[in-house]
Structure 1
Amino acid sequence: MRTSRLGATGLAVSAVGLGTLTWGRDTDEHDAAEHLEAFLDVGGTVIDTAASYADGAAEEILGAQLAERRVRDDVVVVSKAGTRVRGGTGVVDASRAALLTELDASLVRLGTDRVDLWLVQRPDPETTLEETLGALDHAMRTGRARYVGLANHPAWSTAHAATLSRTLLPAPHLAAVEVEHSLLQRGTERELLPAARALGLGVIAWSALGRGVLAGRYRSSVPPASRAASAHLRGFVEPYLDARSASIAEAVATAADGLDVSPAEVALAWSVRSGVDVSLVGASSAAQLRQTLKGAELDLPESIERALDEVSAIPLGYPERL
């Protein structure tokens, strides 16, 4: 699998990363082990998790698997903090106390002394960026995080944080941003992706398969065993079960038929060549993941790539385009 440097850093990352959102809930230890094996077999290195995934169970499973395989030094572990459950309700808390407490708990669950990239999962309107960056600074200076960055922050706060980090954080300052980006969600192309490139930030695209919709599972109905039928993931998928998303998914399926590959391969092939550093994917089975990962090596004909760009294009107006 192709590797590159993450943004302006020296951190080598694989073009595709393995997401662990469902680990510990829909994906048990046995299935997770098979997913990891399939990913490592094709040269993947980036594994994305978070303290909030299955209330920490995803990190526990990942830590156990890395220890069993003795591959900790061969992978890039990305974890996130800043959202947690309080009184049964999810809250955003990017304060110094909350972030560093979560980081310590993550390291215990992962069975490691550091994460390779540590991200603030969401903007916290109650905490200043200076305080949040101070926590990232402490994590790096104590060696508990090799690189730091942001996830799901809008372009203006990303640029603000990147500017502040040049004086508040040691080099390489902010290393990366993680945002949703796929053929179904290209909103970050308006301002965030250009800002990241200008500021030297790497870009990690989560849900490169459009929350699974681009894999073609929902073309005619919602399968009973799918994420959209799951009580805790239904709300995650439903935004992309609309008419616009269906038309894009059909275009992907048509392209896949013409190339004699799966829709997931086409969607991933588009993502890894869309200007991001890492495209994150997950799957419901190891066999499905192995099929999807073939997309990392698929060269889309220019005509198909252009057609997919056109059918999924987002409107640009003032001030992005004058």
Structure 2
Amino acid sequence: MELRHLGRSGLRVSRIGLGTLTWGRDTGEDDAAAQLKTFWESGGTLVDTADVYADGGAEYVLGRLLGSLVPRRDVVVCTKAGSVADPERRVDCSRGHLLAALDASLERLGTEYVDLWQVHAFDPYTPLDETMQALDLAVSSGRARYAGVSGFCGWQLAKAATWQLAQPVGRTRLAGTQLEYSLLQRGVEREVLPAVLDLGLGLLPSSPLGRGVLTGKYRDAVPAGSRGATEHLAPFVAPYLDEPASRVVDAVATAADGLAVSPLQVALAWVRDRPGVAAPVVGARTADQLAEALSVEALTLPDEIRRALDDVSAPLHRYPDHDWSTL
């Protein structure tokens, strides 16, 4: 699989990442092992997780597989901290919480360092310089090799990145950011993507298949066994089962028929090759599903199909707006 630099950093990642949101909860260790083996054998390197996935279970499962199933040196481990289960306050990006969370993540992962450590969400109650200092300490101590953020809107991302750039010595430049991006969710193009391109960050799109809807499996009904059929993930899928989304899914299916590939491959190729994107993060239920996603490596969408998909999925940005494509 082709490798890309994460923004203007020296970190190189596979241009498709493996997500572990369901590991330790819906995906058991055997299925996770099959996915990781398939991913590694295809040349994949970037594995994305977080300390709150399955309340730490995803990190624990990944940690059991690192070294025993695949060499640790071959995996770019990305994890996150800052989201907490406390219903009274679901974000805590204080220095104390972040560094304690990182130590706990390293213990579950069974590794001395993570390759990319991300702040999981913006915390309006903690001074941003305190949050960023936690990233600096993580990198300077060797517990993290690179740092980034996740879930930040445009102004939050720009503020964090420029704070780190304001003093070159002692501060860790942000390498990347993670946010949902797909043909069904192009909101990042309004403010986040222009910031990514201007600041030299790499974008790691989450839910690049529109929470599974762009695969076409929900066109007629919610299939049994799908995420949309589970109690805890049905609300996650439901927003993309409306009429506007249906038109985009139909266009993807038409493109797939014309190219003799699957809708999944068309949707994934589209987001993978957008400006600023380093690696879409794909979550799968089975190794076979993951193998289909990884087969997109050989696909590049023709310009006319890419433009048609751009048009049918174009978001309505009213005033103010930016022409991000010229950056």
User: TM > 0.5 between the two?
Assistant: yes
Contact 1:208 1:280 (8 Å CA) reproduced? yes
Work out the CA distance in 2 between the residues paired with 1:175 and 1:110: 22
Question: Which residue identity does 1:39 align to in structure 2?
Answer: F
Paired residues of 1:262 and 1:292 also in contact (CA < 8 A): no
Q: Is the 8 A contact 2:37 2:70 kept in 1?
A: no
Match of 2:100 in 1: 101
CA distance in 2, matches of 1:161, 1:52: 23
List alignment gaps of at least 5 residues for structure 2.
none
Separation in structure 2 between the aligned mates of residue 247 and residue 52 of structure 1, nearest angstrom:
34
Aligned to 1:58: 58
Between stretches 248-257 and 10-19, larger displacement belongs to 248-257
Alignment partner, residue 22 of structure 2 = 22
CA change 1:153–1:136 in 2 (3 A) is same
Q: Following TM superposition, by how much is the alpha carbon of 1:318 offset from its aligned partner in structure 2, in angstroms?
A: 2.3
Which runs of at least 4 in structure 1 moved beyond 4 Å after TM superposition? none
Provide the rounded CA distance (Å) in 1 between the counterparts of 2:192 and 2:32. Answer: 32
Three-state SS of the structure 1 residue aligned to 2:224 is: coil
2:314 is aligned to 313
Q: Distance in 1 between matches of 2:89 and 2:290?
A: 30
> Whose strand proportion is higher, 1 or 2?
1
Contact 1:267 1:295 survives alignment (8 Å): no
* Contact in 1 for aligned 2:33/2:69 (Cα 8 Å): no
| In structure 2, C-alpha distance between the alignment counterparts of 1:21 and 1:157, rounded to whole Å | 24
CA distance in 1, matches of 2:66, 2:187: 35
2:290 aligned counterpart, secondary structure: helix
SS at match of 1:68: coil
- 1:69–1:170 distance in 2 versus 1, CA, 3 Å: farther
Deviations 1:35-92 (A, max 9, x none): 1111111111100000010000000111111121241111111100101112x66711
Pairwise CA distance, 1:167: 3.7
| Residues 168-194 of structure 1: CA deviation (Å, up to 9, x unaligned) | 674651111111111111110111111
Contact 1:180 1:207 in 2 (8 A): yes
**Cα shift at 1:224:** 1.9
Amino-acid identity (%): 52
Deviation at 1:208, TM superposition (A): 0.9
| CA distance in structure 1 between the partners assigned to 2:62 and 2:203 by the alignment | 23
Query: Which residue matches 1:164?
Result: 163
CA deviations on 1:226-282 (whole Å, 9 max, x unpaired) are: 111111111211111111111111111111122121111111111111120111111
Which structure 1 segments of 5+ residues have no match?
none
- Asked if the contact 2:18/2:283 (under 8 Å) is kept, the reply is yes
- Number of residues of Structure 1 aligned to a counterpart in Structure 2: 321
Q: Which residue of 2 aligns with 1:264?
A: 264
